[in-house]
């Protein structure tokens, strides 16, 4: 059975060896980097906070009266900065990454097959593969940066209008990257970013009680922003509904977190008018000392 695993499973391969032996494990870029002990890769990228050289300037512009085209241009420049910062990471130099994979192969037979898949990808299509990886991580950083912007307590009319445009830009970027069919942008980080926007103070009084309760339930789904993406049962499954197929995934998320993650993802698909996308996963998780299955659809 072809099955994706979350990053935490890599730390428990021996504990769950009997269960995993019957499956063909598959990685995404995040799982690959974690398997190579590169899960702290973001530590070399300054967080997008007040200490960041661009942060204050970005917020100043967002507080001004700007034409929509100018906001889009500023958005594009921030995305370029995310691409540049990722591309400059020493861990993402082609020869370094290739060598890390070669060293890792043979250390654990359970993960040798997916490691060999990525090795072949990098060797046969080096430019394409590296572009894929860099865009995958830059998209993640872009979502994180805008999530932080959306959490700022500024309430100037211009700021509110401009961040609404930023939200629209981010959604359109996801659609554009996804529909190109080359890089799989992680949807869950987008969902977390939209959640940050929805939870702004000026929005809180607008929700009916039922929607507010749903928003509260989704809070436990949120992940560490400085960690690599780690929700394969959403990110690997998301696709246009015309091409939707069920994927299988194993996670160490608890049952409540899995349910909240599914709830958040469905909420954002609906709230952002992304009904052309959906996801279908059979998720295995360890609950009450046994493996149980949960379907996302």
pLDDT-derived band at 49 (thresholds 50, 70, 90) equals confident
CB 195 within 8 A of CB 101: no
Question: Does the pLDDT of residue 280 top 70, yes or no?
Answer: yes
Query: How far, in Å, are 19, 194, 228, 252, 277 from residue 272 at the CA level?
Result: 38, 9, 24, 29, 11
Please indicate whether residue 290 or residue 223 has the higher confidence score (pLDDT). Answer: 223
Are 89 and 45 contacting, i.e. CB atoms less than 8 angstroms apart?
yes
Tokens representing residue 252 in the block: 């160490």
Return all residues near 249 (Cβ < 8 A) that are at least 6 apart: 3, 4, 5, 6, 232, 233, 236, 237, 281, 282, 283, 284
More confident: 14 or 72: 72
Q: Is the pLDDT of residue 22 over 80?
A: yes
What is the model's pLDDT at position 1?
A: 67
CA separation for the pair 31, 38 (Å, rounded):
10
According to DSSP H, which parts of the chain are helical? Answer: 17-20, 29-35, 55-62, 68-87, 94-104, 112-124, 126-150, 157-180, 187-198, 201-204, 209-218, 232-235, 255-271
pLDDT at 237: 93
User: What average pLDDT does this structure show over 251-265?
Assistant: 96
User: What CA–CA distance (Å, rounded) separates 278 from 294?
Assistant: 16
Q: Tell me, what's the pLDDT at 191?
A: 98
Residue 137 pLDDT exceeds 90: yes
pTM of the entire predicted model: 0.95
Q: Kindly report, residue by residue over 161-205, the tens digit of the pLDDT.
A: 999 999 999 999 999 999 998 999 999 999 999 999 999 999 998
**pLDDT value for 54:** 87
Do 254 and 221 contact (CB within 8 A), yes or no?
no
Cα 75 to its chain centre, rounded Å, is 19
- pLDDT, residue 47, reads 82
Find the farthest-apart pair of alpha carbons in the chain and give their distance in angstroms, rounded. Answer: 60
Res. 279: pLDDT tops 90: yes
Q: Which of 18-22, 23-27, 239-243, 261-265 has the highest mean pLDDT?
A: 261-265
For residue 46, pLDDT over 90 is answered with no
Strands 281-287 and 247-251: parallel
- Average pLDDT over the chain reads 94
Mean pLDDT of 282-289: 88
Instruction: Give 238: exposed, middle or buried? Use CB within 10 Å, 0-12, 13-18, 19+.
Output: buried
């Amino acid at each position: 059975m072809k099955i994706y695993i979350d990053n935490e499973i890599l730390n428990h391969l021996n504990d769950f060896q009997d269960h995993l032996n019957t499956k063909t494990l598959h990685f995404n870029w995040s799982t690959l980097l974690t398997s190579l002990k590169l899960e702290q890769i973001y530590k070399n990228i300054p967080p997008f906070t007040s200490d960041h050289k661009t942060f204050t300037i970005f917020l100043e512009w967002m507080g001004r009266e700007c034409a929509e085209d100018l906001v889009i241009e500023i958005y594009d420049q921030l995305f370029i900065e995310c691409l540049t910062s990722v591309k400059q990471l020493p861990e993402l130099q082609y020869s370094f990454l290739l060598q890390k994979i070669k060293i890792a192969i043979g250390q654990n037979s359970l993960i040798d097959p997916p490691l060999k898949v990525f090795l072949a990808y990098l060797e046969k299509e080096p430019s394409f593969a590296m572009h894929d990886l860099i865009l995958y991580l830059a998209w993640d950083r872009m979502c994180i940066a805008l999530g932080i912007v959306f959490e700022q307590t500024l309430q100037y009319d211009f700021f509110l209008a401009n961040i609404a445009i930023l939200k629209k830009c981010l959604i359109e970027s996801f659609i554009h990257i996804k529909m190109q069919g080359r890089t799989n942008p992680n949807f869950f980080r987008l969902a977390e970013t939209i959640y940050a926007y929805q939870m702004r103070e000026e929005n809180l009084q607008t929700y009916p009680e039922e929607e507010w309760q749903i928003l509260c339930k989704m809070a436990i789904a949120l992940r560490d922003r400085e960690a690599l993406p780690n929700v394969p049962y959403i990110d690997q499954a998301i696709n246009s509904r015309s091409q939707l197929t069920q994927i299988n995934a194993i996670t160490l998320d608890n049952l409540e977190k899995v349910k909240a993650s599914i709830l958040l993802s469905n909420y954002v698909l609906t709230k952002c008018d992304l009904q052309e996308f959906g996801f279908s996963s059979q998720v295995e998780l360890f609950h009450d000392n046994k493996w149980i299955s949960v379907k996302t659809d």
